[in-house]
Structure 1
Amino acid sequence: MRTSPAGRLTAVVLAVLTALLVQVTVLPHFAWEVGGLGVVPDVVLLVVVATALATDTRYGTLTGFFAGLLLDLAPPADHVAGRWTLALMVVGYVVGRLAHDNTSDVGRLELEGSRRPPLGLVLAAAAGASFVGTSVFALSGLFLGDSGASVGELLQVALVALVLDTVAALLVVPATYWLLRRLGQERPVAARWAQT
Structure 2
Amino acid sequence: MLLVGAVLAVTLGARHLAPLPDLVLVVVASAGLRSGWQAGLVTGLVGGWVLDLLPPGSTVLGTQALLYAVCGLLVGLARRPGRVSVVWVVAVVGAAAVGCEVVRSLVALASGVPVDPWGSVGRVVATATIALVVVPLVTSVERRAEQRRFA
**Structure 1 and Structure 2 fold alike (TM over 0.5):** yes
Match of 2:114 in 1: 149
Mapped to 1, the partners of 2:66 and 2:118 lie a distance apart of 21
Tell me how far 1:85 sits from its aligned partner: 1.4
Does the 8 A contact of 2:75 with 2:92 survive in 1?
yes
Residue 69 of structure 1 pairs with residue 49 of structure 2: yes
Does the 8 A contact of 1:50 with 1:176 survive in 2?
yes
Q: Secondary structure at the match of 1:54?
A: helix
Match of 1:127 in 2: 94
Q: Give runs of ≥4 in structure 1 deviating > 4 Å.
A: none
Tell me how far 1:138 sits from its aligned partner: 2.5
Q: Secondary structure at the match of 1:99?
A: coil
The structure whose RCO (Cα within 8 Å, separation 6+) is larger is: 1
The TM-score normalised by the length of structure 2 is 0.87
Q: Which structure 1 residue ranges, 5 or more long, are not aligned?
A: 1-14, 33-38, 106-114, 189-196
Q: Per-residue CA shift, 1:110-157, capped at 9, x if unaligned?
A: xxxxx65210111101110110112122223334x2x5114xx2x323
- Give the counterpart letter for 2:124 in structure 1: L
Once the two structures are superposed, the pairs formed by residues 115-194 of structure 1 within 5 Å of their partners are 116-143=83-110, 145=111, 148-150=113-115, 153=116, 155-185=117-147, 186-188=149-151
| Percent pairwise identity | 28
Match of 1:54 in 2: 34
Mapped to 1, the partners of 2:83 and 2:6 lie a distance apart of 24
Give the aligned CA root-mean-square deviation in angstroms.
Answer: 2.0
Structure with more of its chain in helix, by fraction = 2
Residue 16 of structure 1 pairs with residue 2 of structure 2: yes
Q: Which structure 2 residue ranges, 5 or more long, are not aligned?
A: none
